[in-house]
Amino acid sequence: MQTNQTPINLIFGPVASRRFGISLGIDLSPNIKQCNFDCLYCELAASKTISKQNSSPKVSDIIDQVKDAIQKHQQIEVITLTANGEPTLYPYLDQLIDELNKIKQNKKLLILSNGSTIYKNNIFRSLQQIDIVKLSLDCATQKCFKKLDRANNSVELHKIIDGIITFSKVYNGDLILEVLFVDGINTKDDEIDKLYQILKQIKPNRVDIGTIDRPPAYDVKPIGFDKLQEIANKFTDINVNITFKNRPKSLQSFNHQEIIKLLKMRPLTQDDIDNTFDTSSVEILKKLIQDKIISVVESSGVLFYKIFEI
């Protein structure tokens, strides 16, 4: 049922996001948390899981507020569908996406989803109408998934994984996956190796890997930057973007061969370069780009340096 009351603020921002650019957020569950997961690391309070929303804002109220914001803030680059919970549980998602696509002008539409509903036909179709789809995938095994994401009984990991693989084959936009690592839960070698095998099948445009950086709902611990880097290095040939608050800066000097070797292992982001390449290494990198040995590609606001593909 669309809530019939004085519209509250259904949008937030624009905010500058390092991962996606200047973003206007839409909150599809502005009053309470409504989620089919109860992740250990959630920055919202722990709560009972649900399989459908009980309270949902009206499409027309959202559209009115987005139209106003677009007019006021021309600099907006992305319109982000999000929620206090899982945005794909919003029952009018299809209609909302249609309306947003009519008014978004040159802005991109982005959704931040936990991926849990991707195998449902209606959601599968709706997500194809969105320019950038960011899905979470924290675990490769049901055991880890149950422990970490604490999903509603209606959710099965193998359906999600199969759904994402199928989606990746037909989707024309930017598919981004996000993995959040929690110490001792999804950080075992075996789990990471299995996750890598799945990522290779999905071939997303980008994988954001990170850890807890805000007070979590449960008593769990983040991993350090070194561990994240170790994981990134295992995800060979994948565009991995490490997201880490207060990332340590450690400038080093790399020669021509060392830079090529590094990038053969995995593409590096602008952030990786800024935090690890000293001035002379940056000069060598520029020359390698000029000589078309290294290319620079963009994935929804994040720059990647990679070995040139012919």
Residues that bind ligand SF4 (CB under 6 A): 35, 37-39, 42, 44, 85-86, 114
Q: How far is the CB of 147 from ligand SF4 (least distance, A)?
A: 13
Q: Which residue matches tokens 């690592």? A: 181
Q: How far is the CB of 95 from ligand SF4 (least distance, A)?
A: 23
Comparing CB distances to ligand SF4, the nearer of 113 and 269 is 113
Comparing CB distances to ligand SF4, the nearer of 19 and 107 is 19
Contact indicator for 209, 243 with CB cutoff of 8 Å: yes
Q: How far is the CB of 36 from ligand SF4 (least distance, A)?
A: 7
Q: How far apart are CA 285 and CA 299, in angstroms?
A: 20
Contact indicator for 179, 209 with CB cutoff of 8 Å: yes
Contact indicator for 56, 229 with CB cutoff of 8 Å: no
Residue 277 DSSP one-character state: B
Phi then psi for 140, rounded to 5 degrees? -105, -15
Phi then psi for 169, rounded to 5 degrees? -80, -25
Does the N-terminal peptide bond of residue 91 adopt cis geometry, omega within 30 degrees of 0?
Answer: no
Comparing CB distances to ligand SF4, the nearer of 112 and 202 is 112
Comparing CB distances to ligand SF4, the nearer of 44 and 293 is 44
Comparing CB distances to ligand SF4, the nearer of 23 and 117 is 117
What is the largest distance, in Å, between two alpha-carbon atoms of the chain?
64
Contact indicator for 191, 169 with CB cutoff of 8 Å: no
Q: How far apart are CA 88 and CA 129, in angstroms?
A: 13
Q: How far is the CB of 93 from ligand SF4 (least distance, A)?
A: 16
Comparing CB distances to ligand SF4, the nearer of 42 and 137 is 42
Comparing CB distances to ligand SF4, the nearer of 223 and 294 is 223
Contacts of 261 (CB under 8 A, 6+ apart): none
Kindly give the pairing relationship between strand 21-27 and strand 78-82: parallel
Q: How far is the CB of 115 from ligand SF4 (least distance, A)?
A: 9
Q: Where are the alpha helices (DSSP H) in 242-278?
A: 256-265, 270-276
Q: How far apart are CA 49 and CA 299, in angstroms?
A: 33
Contacts of 162 (CB under 8 A, 6+ apart): 119
Q: How far is the CB of 264 from ligand SF4 (least distance, A)?
A: 34
Comparing CB distances to ligand SF4, the nearer of 30 and 85 is 85
SS3 295: strand
